[in-house]
Chains A and B, each alone.
Chain A
């Protein structure tokens, strides 16, 4: 297992377009998290899943954002009708209930909305 994988690494899109990001967690991890990080700030929580169930969503996750984790494996984060304010690094992380050593983060997807 090579860790948490995120694709694409970079995405440039025009305002108003829809984008979708994918995250493949560490296979034995049942929890998956999405965070957003803007320049000069720490990661901000968006949502997290335990298996396929979405347990918590931030108020940052407007109705233009939707996340899924079908079958409790990979996850997708979709942003509809992108706005320039959506430009950020989108980070995915996973963890297991068997350890308490924090998340394992992926390298992120950098979104630029032009």
Chain B
């Protein structure tokens, strides 16, 4: 049972343009969502998060949008840079609006930003 789904295995974007990565979830108990970035041979690194009481969170070039009614979230990267090329994972928790405890991850989307 895949409770967090990233339906696009890969995304290719030109440098300077916007990258939009999507994530859908099925468990209505999820109340906190995170995005992680992973480079080869490294562990995932935390990027940005959003609580279910918000619909948008912004941090520099990264913005996460949450649509609770559609059980959908997206990560926008503007402008995209070649160094953003990595695997991006969406994750969710049902731990009272925190990231503590168990996280459920999506399958990941490989982002390639071309110079």
Contacts and interface: CB of A to CB of B under 8 A. Distances in A.
Given A101-B49, A102-B34, A102-B36, A45 B103 contact: yes
Given A31-B100, A45-B102, A107 B108 contact: no
B41 interface: yes
B43 to A, nearest CB: 3
B43 A97 contact: no
A111 B98 CA distance: 31
B63 interface: no
A25 interface: no
B99 A43 contact: no
The bracket for how many chain B residues form the interface is 20 to 34
A60 to B, nearest CB: 11
A95 B104 CA distance: 16
Give chain B's interface secondary structure class: loop
B113 to A, nearest CB: 21
B107 A95 contact: no
A40 B49 contact: no
A48 B102 CA distance: 8
A79 interface: no
A95 B32 CA distance: 16
A44 B104 CA distance: 7
Contacts of A100: 49, 98-100
Interface of A: 4, 31, 35, 40-45, 48, 55-56, 58, 91, 93, 95, 97, 100-108
